[in-house]
Amino acid sequence: MAFKQDFLWGGATAANQYEGAYLTDGKGLNTSDVMTVGSATKSRSITWRNPTTGETGSNPAGWGGPTRVVPEGTVPADVAGYYYPSHEGTDFYHHYQEDIALMGEMGFKTFRLSMNWARIFPTGEETQPNQAGLDFYDRVFDECKKYNIEPLVTLSHYETPLALAINYNGWASRKLIGFFENYATTVIKHYQGKVKYWLTFNEINCMEFAPFVAGGVIDGTPQNKAQAAHNQLVASAKVVKAAHAIDPTIQIGQMLAYGPLYAYTCDPEDQIKVMEGMQQSSFYSDVQTGGHYPEYQWKRYERQGITLDDRPEDYDLLAQYPADFLSFSCYGSNVVTTHEETAKSDGNLGQGGIKNPYLETNAWGWATDPEVLRLALNTLTDRYHKPLWIVENGIGWADEIAADGKVHDDYRIKYLQANIGSMKRAVDLDGVDLMGYTMWGCIDLVSAGTGEMKKRYGFVYVDRDDAGHGTLNRMPKDSFYWYKKVIANNGADL
Ligand code: BG6
């Protein structure tokens, strides 16, 4: 038997893509609430308003857009006439009982969700939490308990209270460390006994590519991104310290976006490109899980003329309070080269590369790599020797309802058979210490990259389209029944 008896099988979601109810019961606006819908070929935009003239507009931004996401003199704002998919998501807020029952039916042992910071502290600066927000998650966790589902809660998944972005340039300010610490300790205390596993920042290395999405940074210069990353890393260590003081059985994990890079040729220059590319993400895990800033990062900052607003005690905190476990998302691998090559592909965080001729891709250019999880799990084990948890993996597909009224997603089953098979080999053949697996977007939700509904990941279909039309009715797909069997036999038979 490859997996532990208490292996945490389940699914993952994020409030900004799933929860909806964007102003209900006192919630404040988030950064994600001002991001419009896009598509595979058109990037999402951030809408803005000039507070003096009242002029409004939108900037293509978010993923790989300009350094400054809105024009000088304007602020990101919720503007009438635009469609914002986060505002309703797929309405988990009003469907949580039904959705958790479906997870229970599949046999989920765990459910990864994120807590919406602005639902608890609407502007991020309040000293007292919003009781209605706390009550909502109490209802959610009580529902999970009915089915013996262990929640895994991300404190910040691609959303920062909008007021903090506007007033402080988001995480570029050290002020955010204190605001986040207050939020985190409030909820960790409040849900003590109900939530044991927490993650601080979703895909913390997203700061490299989309600082507004990752940390509400409006002016994402290299200096501001480096400072924002430092502030989040210090905040994470403070949360580990505080959580262990509240209850030593609580575990705080790091969450990293991980995708191995492959060299397109055996030219040594290509291997160096791979190494440097991997350092861009391993910097975040070297600090948050490893406890130390790596030398390569200091050298990089030196070359870029970056100096951090830091304190000696920051580094003590980082060393003393690393993450208890390392969780990561992994959808596939990417290929890089120093040679001319025009066949491009896309990938998570907009970080595509060269098309891999050995792999199949979906309609958004993301490749299915049948060995990626074994590689990822081994590499991360060798580097950190900490328990690992795969908290995102899956495939986006424009599912269609067939003539019989069902969704026959054999392509999803095929993807998951390959990926879970690879994960199983890492446990079976290599002995990696793996805590669990949560498939991304277990109930259909909005895509983070494009804002579309069409890019679906779920075991459960939700009736909603890219313009926000649909009944929001839920319907299990074929993969629902397949995953139920996988959980029931603890991955023995895929
Ligand atoms: C990860 C994010 O980057 O990938 C999720 O943590 C996201 O929020 C997922 O939804 C899949 O990406 P996309 O762009 O297909 O939604």
| 314 Cα–ligand 1 center, Å | 30
Residue-number span of the structural domain to which 377 is assigned: 8-28+82-488
Binned at pLDDT 50, 70 and 90, residue 341 comes out as: confident
| 79 Cα–ligand 1 center, Å | 25
Supply the mean pLDDT for the chain: 96
- Give the residue-averaged pLDDT of 328-335: 96
pLDDT at 292: 98
| 408 Cα–ligand 1 center, Å | 23
Greater model confidence, 350 or 425: 425
pLDDT tens figures, 437-458:
999 999 999 999 999 999 999 9
Q: Is the pLDDT of residue 344 over 80?
A: no
218: in domain: yes
pLDDT at 213: 96
Number of domains comprising the chain: 1
- Give the residue-averaged pLDDT of 123-146: 98
38: in domain: no
Beta strands in 284-371 (DSSP E): 325-329, 334-336, 344-345, 353-354, 360-361, 367-368
Q: What are phi and psi of 176, to 5 degrees?
A: -65, -25
Closest CA relative to residue 422, chosen from 380, 376, 383: 376
The response to whether residue 13 sits with its C-beta less than 6 Å from ligand 1 reads: no
Q: What residue owns the CA closest to ligand 1's atom 1?
A: 348
428: in domain: yes
101: in domain: yes
pLDDT at 266: 96
Q: What are phi and psi of 333, to 5 degrees?
A: -110, 165
Q: What residue owns the CA closest to ligand 1's atom 10?
A: 448
Which ligand 1 atom sits nearest the alpha carbon of residue 447? 16
- Give the residue-averaged pLDDT of 339-367: 81
Binned at pLDDT 50, 70 and 90, residue 346 comes out as: confident
Q: What residue owns the CA closest to ligand 1's atom 5?
A: 448
494: in domain: no
Which ligand 1 atom sits nearest the alpha carbon of residue 448? 16
pTM above 0.95, yes or no: yes
Which ligand 1 atom sits nearest the alpha carbon of residue 203? 6
- Give the residue-averaged pLDDT of 95-118: 98
- Give the residue-averaged pLDDT of 296-316: 98
| 166 Cα–ligand 1 center, Å | 25
Closest CA relative to residue 389, chosen from 48, 1, 3, 89: 3
pLDDT tens figures, 384-421:
999 999 999 999 999 999 999 999 999 999 999 999 99
**The domain that contains 301 carries what CATH number?**
3.20.20.80
Please choose from 348, 393, 454 the residue to mutate so as to test ligand 1's pocket, defined by most ligand atoms within 8 A of CB.
348
Token pair belonging to 27: 């919630």
Residues taking part in catalysis: 203, 392
136: in domain: yes
The response to whether residue 448 sits with its C-beta less than 6 Å from ligand 1 reads: yes
pLDDT at 62: 61
pLDDT tens figures, 239-270:
999 999 999 999 999 999 999 999 999 999 99
Cα distance between residue 296 and residue 471, in whole Å: 52
70: in domain: no
Closest CA relative to residue 260, chosen from 410, 422, 421: 422
Greater model confidence, 343 or 430: 430
44: in domain: no
Q: Is the pLDDT of residue 148 over 90?
A: yes
The response to whether residue 449 sits with its C-beta less than 6 Å from ligand 1 reads: yes
Please choose from 114, 254, 440 the residue to mutate so as to test ligand 1's pocket, defined by most ligand atoms within 8 A of CB.
440
